[in-house]
Chain A
Amino acid sequence: MKSMTDNSPASPERRRFLGAATVAAGVTLAPGVMLVEVAHGRPEDQAASGAVRWGMLVDATKCASGCDECVSACSTENGWTPVAESKHPKQAPQWIRKLELQDPLTQQETNLPMLCQHCAEPPCVDVCPTGASFKRADGIVLVNRHTCIGCRYCMMACPYKARSLVHEPLNDTQKPDVPRGVGCVEACTFCVQKVDRGDGTTACVEACTKAGHNALVFGDMNDPESEISKRLRELPTKQVRADLNLNVGVRYHGI
């Protein structure tokens, strides 16, 4: 497993340097080509690029209380049953959920979506005995449906409770491009099927924007010209459980 991650630049510094270098080359040598490539998605025979690091910015100050557009968009796109419709809510998978926080002293409330943080140093990948949990070169953390044995060690290891076990045989809500299966563990994939198709965004981000909240931005954090990079430069953001130093791919503003 390690060898796989070793192919991609491991340290954030090196990745940033490579990213900048590639972009610079793209801009000077063949303007447009780079952008076209990223925007058009990835042919199946081509490996995910380590020059890209997909990430998300959550602006908690814009995330509306009581709104769960992002959650239902995810469930529709990826074919998991919304908790409210599930017969076994405690065992139902949730790829993304809304968290309501309150400071007991000041009564100040914060709303934010919680999802897989697509850690650059993912503990779930470290502990997975079979290597079913893996991180793609472009930073997306996924579970290989064919080698996951359902040991749930990754669920024990994830500091964000981002993963779910599929507890019962699935009904026909499944989507053809989102393989799932009973007894396997799953989590947010950053809508990898959309990303690879070249949509350049995720279902939750689209839904949030459509609802007019604009609390979510998705994009390539290695590309200094991307919207997410620009916003990340302007807004102060935090990593949840920054103490663990996992270098997460989801950054929060206003927490």
Chain B
Amino acid sequence: MASITFREVEGSSLKYWMLFGGIGLFVLFGFLSYLYMHHHGHVVTGMDNQVVWGLPHVFAVFLIVAASGALNVASIASVFNKPMYKPLAPLSAILALALLAGGLLVLVLDLGRSDRLIVAMTHFNFTSMFTWNVFLYSGFFVLVGIYLWTMLDSSVKAYTKVAGTAAFLWRLILTTGTGSLFGFLIARALYGSAMLAPMFIIMSFAYGLAIYLLVLAASYAWTGRPLGDVVMNRLRYLLAVFVAAVLYFVVVYHLTNLYFAKMHGAEAFILRDGGDITTLFWVGQIVVGCVLPLVILLTGLGKQRSWVLVACVLVILGGIAQEYVTIIGAQAYPLEMFPGMTMKSTFYDGVVHDYSPSTPEWFLGLGGVAIALLITTFAVKVLRLLPVSLDDATVAKLEH
């Protein structure tokens, strides 16, 4: 097999530092938002005792799910032994680590008592999915870290496959764990479904790959390195398959729900009567997140690189909409304590809860995205993650 040269990106140019500074600004805004929320309490957010998990959770869950998905490209290379994907693997691993770090940071900074993080790391309750997730996340960092090491250090190269397989299996468990955070909540009509775990896995494939493609294309364009159509097309079709699978799962999930009479109210809320939530579902999740990207990726439009990147952006936006519908939608729909009865109280029982995220919540969420990008930007500068060239000729040599 032909060998590939990896090199750090040129990181002293003005362009690099402007990018770095721009992202850094968002990190700063995120941090200031955190300080503001922490000082005043959650009263300055749009969250209340009805919608208890707000926009920060939407971003956090999206990032965590995307993190495990970003590792896919590496998995295809090491686990499934596809030589073309090998040069793509290091970036995939670092993105996975960066996205997970961003997501976790948002999750942790949104705690009512974020100052008690040490409590969360010293007191464990093993009936809680959250506790399991703490271990799943730490394990992910360790395994992907080792995997990355085997790829970068030629003296341990022999272990790449083992480390890659371990990381791959772990990421499947991790996303199952994230999905189960919701799947185990019996109280909420729209959760408590075993469908959520596999659905989260397939969603992670799509989001992770979309982010990967964007970062790959951007770094090659901005550093002036050649990126051939062979790579782009492979990833483009892979993305189309993942997006189609997401659509399939979403349809099956709602169809099975519609089968149960007790779910009719909740389903009607998401699909028809939910106002903003319904709009986000149909326009955001289905049209923007699935239908449009599929059209772009599978038609002639997909032959143009800029359209592929548009499709990636749409998949990401659709993914955020999907998490919003999943997390906020299920809380906005009132708990049914007395089925068939109308309910009234000072605690907003029986009414749909509206939620509008406040500015600090937006910036906290975006701060998580920014952290992930900042880590990636820094990593490609200090580590040899990106092949010098990915033009068609270089890639063709790998396949033979």
Additional pairs, 7, CB under 8 Å, beyond known A100-B345, A165-B42: A88-B48, A102-B342, A102-B344, A146-B119, A150-B111, A159-B187, A183-B41
A164 adjacent to B49 (CB under 8 Å): yes
Q: Does A98 contact B (CB under 8 A)?
A: yes
Contacts A156-B187, A241-B337 known; A127 to B111 CB distance under 8 Å? no
**5 A–B contacts from the bound complex (CB under 8 Å):** A1-B126, A90-B348, A123-B187, A127-B129, A169-B40
A156 adjacent to B52 (CB under 8 Å): yes
- In the bound complex, how far is the Cα of B49 from the Cα of A131, in angstroms? 21
A130 adjacent to B119 (CB under 8 Å): yes
Q: Does B170 contact A (CB under 8 A)?
A: no
A183 adjacent to B134 (CB under 8 Å): no
Main secondary structure of the interface of B (DSSP, over half): loop
Task: Report A-chain residues with C-beta under 8 Å of the C-beta of B130.
Answer: 127-129, 151, 153
Task: Report B-chain residues with C-beta under 8 Å of the C-beta of A165.
Answer: 42, 49, 52, 112
Shortest Cβ distance from B126 into chain A, in angstroms?
7
- Tell me the chain B residues, 112-153 only, with Cβ under 8 Å from chain A: 112-114, 116-117, 119-120, 123-131, 134
Binding site for A on B (CB under 8 A): 40-43, 47-50, 52-53, 111-114, 116-117, 119-120, 123-131, 134, 181, 184-188, 331, 335, 337-338, 340-349
Task: Report B-chain residues with C-beta under 8 Å of the C-beta of A103.
Answer: 340-342
Task: Report A-chain residues with C-beta under 8 Å of the C-beta of B116.
Answer: 147-150
A129 adjacent to B349 (CB under 8 Å): no
Q: Does A177 contact B (CB under 8 A)?
A: no
Task: Report B-chain residues with C-beta under 8 Å of the C-beta of A185.
Answer: 112
Q: Does A97 contact B (CB under 8 A)?
A: yes
B112 adjacent to A97 (CB under 8 Å): no
- In the bound complex, how far is the Cα of B338 from the Cα of A99, in angstroms? 11
Shortest Cβ distance from A91 into chain B, in angstroms?
5
A148 adjacent to B345 (CB under 8 Å): no
A149 adjacent to B337 (CB under 8 Å): no
Which 6 pairs between the two chains have the least Cβ-Cβ distance? A150-B112, A183-B112, A129-B130, A159-B187, A168-B43, A131-B125
Task: Report B-chain residues with C-beta under 8 Å of the C-beta of A152.
Answer: 52-53, 112
B337 adjacent to A148 (CB under 8 Å): no
Closest to B338 in A: A101
Shortest Cβ distance from B330 into chain A, in angstroms?
9
Shortest Cβ distance from B130 into chain A, in angstroms?
4
Q: Does A67 contact B (CB under 8 A)?
A: no
A149 adjacent to B120 (CB under 8 Å): yes
- In the bound complex, how far is the Cα of B186 from the Cα of A185, in angstroms? 19
- In the bound complex, how far is the Cα of B47 from the Cα of A10, in angstroms? 36
A161 adjacent to B335 (CB under 8 Å): yes
Task: Report B-chain residues with C-beta under 8 Å of the C-beta of A244.
Answer: 186-187
A94 adjacent to B112 (CB under 8 Å): no
B113 adjacent to A126 (CB under 8 Å): no
- In the bound complex, how far is the Cα of B347 from the Cα of A151, in angstroms? 21
A104 adjacent to B112 (CB under 8 Å): no
Q: Does A194 contact B (CB under 8 A)?
A: no
